[in-house]
């Protein structure tokens, strides 16, 4: 693992990471658990905080593989009594297998007293976990289960994905979702990416253009100096995944610009796409944004204020019948975002995916009833599950003959569609499109609107 990305290991950083992982194992979302652990570990330096954050994500990301290693060494997790003990064994194995460290480095981070209490395992057991030769693991017979083991995913999820993705696509997707994601940005205003890259270079930050999206930028060093640059502080960069940028782009017309459009961002969340849409419509356009989560919508309001975007409003209820474009970035399983939220793959179930599908279908039906003639509905998810993506759209079209599916190639062009489209749909899958996995469909109302 790249030491610069890892940060600086320390006993206090390890303690915070272990406390956060224990909270995750008890059901707390990783982001919240990490935030709480960092707050309680007051006084950690920046590099120690980076290490803590990386360690927490890695312990969930590689959980299956770490547990397999523990089992091969005679420490089946079901027999390791306390949650604190399980966390300690996983941490020691992660430092050994993924960081390449020995007991000389790992011991000071985990030795008694502490770093977490209560615990029943002693230092000599952890030392054996680190120093004993690791036996070769017997691999499952099926290719899908081999991939599930190698990349630490639940069997049911990989077996489902194996039904729809070719082997090479599936392995690339799982490998990408099993890695710490790179940091991507959107250059602002649209169309100024070259100038932004040149300005970053002048400030000593290494960055490059991403081919899949016209304004996407990837920072290629891991120092995080980009956040201290004049470019960032002047509002020329917005943190945004490449696939998320592509969803915003799906709201644009096949020809011409969105200047002066009215756009409804119906599931705005924290407002990442709201900002992009505001840039697209310009000062003469309008973006109305809403979300069921008051906390996330408050964050969106703050981001809009930060960027001084006067063309964005947050009315309730949203005036959907006035909108030229309606973005439905639907609640979903988040399977395309597992690199950023690796704890979710151990919490998700097939039953929960089915519940999301029902919610998505209801939401799309509800929005369609208010779309005016000629309006464009963009249905999107950050899921790679076909039942949340193509299946929802196909069922919707079967019930709504007054809507037509428009091919996303009309917006992307042939070259970028080869990277990020599958048939008429946006299907942004890593590693071809860096970052997370995203889906979108363009649904045009060609029949009468709401009566």
Q: Determine the 3-state secondary structure of 335 from DSSP.
A: helix
118-143 in b/e form (b: 16+ CB < 10 A) is: ebebeeebbbebbeeeeeeeeeeeee
> 374 exposed, middle or buried (CB, 10 Å; 0-12, 13-18, 19+)?
exposed
178 among the known binding-site residues?
no
Q: In what order do the strands lie in the sheet with 237-239?
A: 207-209, 216-219, 184-187, 237-239
With beta carbons less than 8 A apart as the criterion, state whether 222 and 2 touch: yes
Length of the chain: 451
Distance, in Å, from the CA atom of 427 to the CA atom of 441, rounded to the nearest integer, reads 9
Contact 417, 211 (CB under 8 A): no
Question: For residue 383, is it left (φ>0), alpha (ψ between -120 and 50) or beta?
Answer: beta
Cβ neighbours, 10 Å, residue 87: 25
Torsion, CA 157, CA 329, CA 246, CA 400, rounded to 10: 90
List, by residue number, the catalytic residues.
382
Residue set of the binding site: 291, 329
Residue set of the binding site for S-adenosyl-L-methionine: 291, 329
């Amino acid at each position: 693992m790249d030491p610069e990305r890892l940060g600086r290991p320390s006993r206090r950083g390890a303690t915070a990471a272990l406390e956060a992982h224990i909270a995750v194992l008890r059901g707390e979302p990783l982001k919240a658990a990490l935030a709480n652990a960092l707050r309680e570990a007051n006084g950690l330096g920046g590099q120690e905080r980076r290490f803590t954050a990386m360690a927490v994500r890695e312990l969930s990301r590689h959980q299956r593989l770490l547990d397999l290693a523990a089992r091969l060494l005679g420490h089946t997790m079901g027999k390791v009594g306390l949650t604190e003990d399980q966390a300690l064994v996983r941490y020691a194995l992660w430092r050994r297998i993924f960081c390449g460290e020995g007991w000389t480095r790992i011991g000071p981070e985990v030795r008694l007293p502490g770093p977490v209490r209560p615990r029943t395992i002693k230092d000599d057991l952890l030392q054996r976990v680190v120093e004993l030769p690791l036996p070769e693991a017997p691999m499952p017979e099926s290719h899908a289960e081999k991939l599930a083991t190698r990349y630490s995913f639940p069997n049911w999820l990989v077996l489902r994905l194996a039904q729809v993705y070719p082997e090479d696509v599936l392995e690339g997707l799982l490998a990408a979702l099993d890695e710490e994601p790179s940091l991507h940005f959107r250059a602002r205003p649209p169309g100024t990416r070259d100038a932004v890259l040149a300005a970053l270079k002048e400030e000593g930050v290494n960055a490059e253009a991403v081919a899949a999206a016209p304004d996407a930028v990837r920072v290629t060093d891991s120092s995080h100096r980009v956040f201290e640059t004049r470019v960032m502080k002047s509002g020329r960069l917005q943190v945004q995944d490449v696939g998320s940028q592509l969803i915003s782009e799906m709201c644009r017309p096949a020809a011409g610009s969105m200047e002066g459009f009215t756009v409804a961002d119906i599931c705005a969340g924290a407002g990442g796409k709201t900002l992009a849409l505001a840039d697209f419509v310009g000062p003469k356009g309008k973006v109305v944004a809403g979300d069921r989560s008051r906390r996330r919508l408050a964050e969106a309001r703050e981001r809009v204020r930060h960027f001084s975007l006067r063309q964005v409003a947050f009315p309730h209820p949203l005036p959907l019948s006035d909108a030229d474009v309606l973005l439905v970035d639907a609640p979903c399983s988040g399977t395309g975002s597992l690199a950023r939220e690796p704890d979710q793959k151990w919490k998700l179930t097939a039953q929960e995916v089915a519940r999301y599908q029902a919610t998505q279908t209801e939401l799309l039906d509800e929005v369609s009833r208010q779309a005016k003639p000629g309006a464009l509905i963009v249905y999107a998810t950050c899921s790679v599950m076909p039942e949340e993506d193509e299946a929802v759209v196909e069922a919707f079209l079967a019930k709504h003959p007054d809507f037509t599916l428009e091919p996303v190639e009309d917006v992307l062009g042939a070259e970028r569609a080869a990277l990020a489209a599958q048939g008429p749909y946006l299907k942004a899958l890593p590693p071809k499109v860096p970052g997370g996995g995203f889906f979108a469909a363009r649904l045009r109302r060609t029949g009468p609107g709401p009566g």
